[in-house]
Structure 1
């Protein structure tokens, strides 16, 4: 498997965590390829890691089952904000082929209520809002479950309704920010320019918003006695 092609993009570890592969590099002394990656959701202060390609492409055994150490999430999209962050750090953003994909193909790898923390849950809801809303509307239009299971559709609907209601009530002060950033698709840089702010101010605003939304998600689970986070894999 060392000959496996590794491309920039999202990969899921065998334990359920998601990482983003930024690029590959070659060791100048021994000629061995190295994978450069970072954790997802992206941290406020970027931190990058390296793994040998041999290690990255290896397999692990969990409960007697052989699994790939990293499995590529081919249809999980990187946001414009994330691309901007990579470019600011000196990395090239992903090179995309100019071809139209069917919605059904793009929906395959989207998972719901599987984040590792409430902060990650909040970021996931916002960054996938347009994508999830389009999927929801398609299901309603088709009067069926288009490329989604019944249980995932229930989670999708629940998440959209919760976020929309929160923005109309408790989080109403962030409604304009949310619309411009996650509906209209402005990057942090473009939002800052549009409002005469510096990037640090917008980063702080986003952190406050994500933190407030994460707290609401946690309070909802506590009130209902239910956990909507990913459960750890038992070795």
Structure 2
């Protein structure tokens, strides 16, 4: 499996952790290929790691079953903001394919309502809004669960409704910002240019918005006595 082709994109590790492969490099000492990757969801302060390609492509045994150590998630979409950050740090963004994906192919493989923190939950809601909205509308129009389970569709609908209602009420001051950044798809750089702001101001605005949304998500869960974050399994 060392000859396996590794492309930039999302991969799920055998234990469920999702990572993003940035690029490949060559070890100057032994000439071996190494995989450069970062954690997902992306941290505010990025950290990059390397694994030998041989180790990355290896198989492991889990509960008596042989599994690939990392499996590519071909239908997870990286946000424009994440691409911009990679490019700012000297990495090339993913190569776009000209063929549009069909909704039947778009099983994005991310677990709904399974973020580690409310801030990460808020960030995922925003970065996946366009994709989630298209998936929701497709399922409603087709009157069936297309490339999504019934349980995940319920979570998807709940998240979309919560975010839309928040932007109409408590977070109304951020509605235009949200539309331009996460619906129209403007990068932080382009948003700053369009509004004659420096990038630091836009970064601060985004942090305020995501923090406010995270608080609302936490308050909702506390009021309902329900946690929509990833639950740690206790031994």
* Same fold per superposition (TM over 0.5): yes
Indicate the residue corresponding to 2:195 in structure 1. 195
Question: Which has the larger displacement, 56-65 or 221-230?
Answer: 56-65
> Cα–Cα, structure 1 residues 228 and 145, in superposed 2: closer, same or farther, change >3 Å?
same
Report matched runs for 1:1-235 at 5 Å.
1-232=1-232
Q: What displacement does 1:17 show?
A: 2.2
SS in 2 for 1:130: helix
Most deviating of 170-179 and 60-69: 60-69
Q: Tell me by how many angstroms 1:214 deviates.
A: 1.2
After TM superposition, the structure 1 stretch with the greater mean CA deviation from structure 2, 58-67 or 125-134, is: 58-67
C-alpha displacement at 1:107, in angstroms? 2.4
Q: 1:81 to 1:131 in 2, by over 3 A?
A: same
Q: Is the 8 A contact 1:15 1:232 kept in 2?
A: no
Bigger mean CA offset, 178-187 vs 91-100 = 91-100
| Secondary structure of 1:60's aligned partner | strand
Secondary structure of 2:2's counterpart equals: coil
Deviation at residue 230 of structure 1 after TM alignment: 2.1
CA distance in 1: counterparts of 2:59 and 2:233, whole angstroms:
16
Q: Distance in 2 between matches of 1:60 and 1:136?
A: 36
Which runs of structure 1 show a deviation greater than 4 angstroms over 4 or more consecutive aligned residues?
none
For residue 114 of structure 2, give the secondary structure of its aligned residue in structure 1.
Answer: coil
- For residues 174-212 of structure 1, the C-alpha deviation after alignment (integer angstroms, 9 at most, x for no partner) is 111101100111100000001111111111111111111
Q: Show structure 2 runs of 5+ residues with no match.
A: none
How much has 1:112 moved relative to structure 2? 1.1
The SS at the match of 1:196 is: coil
1:84 Cα deviation (Å)?
1.1
Q: If the length of structure 2 is used for normalisation, what is the TM-score?
A: 0.93
Q: Distance in 1 between matches of 2:108 and 2:193?
A: 36
State the number of aligned residues: 235
Check 1:65–1:232 CA distance in 2 against 1; reply closer, same or farther (3 A cut).
farther
Quote the offset at 1:23 in angstroms: 0.3
Question: Structure 1: 5+ residue runs without aligned partners?
Answer: none
Between 1:150-159 and 1:40-49, the stretch displaced more is 40-49
Match of 1:154, SS state, is: helix
> Over residues 146-182 of structure 1, what are the superposed CA-to-partner deviations in whole Å (9 max), with x where a residue is unaligned?
2222111111110000001111111111111101100
Q: Which moved more, 1:211-220 or 1:150-159?
A: 211-220
C-alpha separation in 2, matches of 1:231 and 1:6: 31
**Once structures 1 and 2 are overlaid, which stretch shifts more, 126-135 or 144-153?**
144-153
CA offset at residue 234 of structure 1?
Answer: 6.4
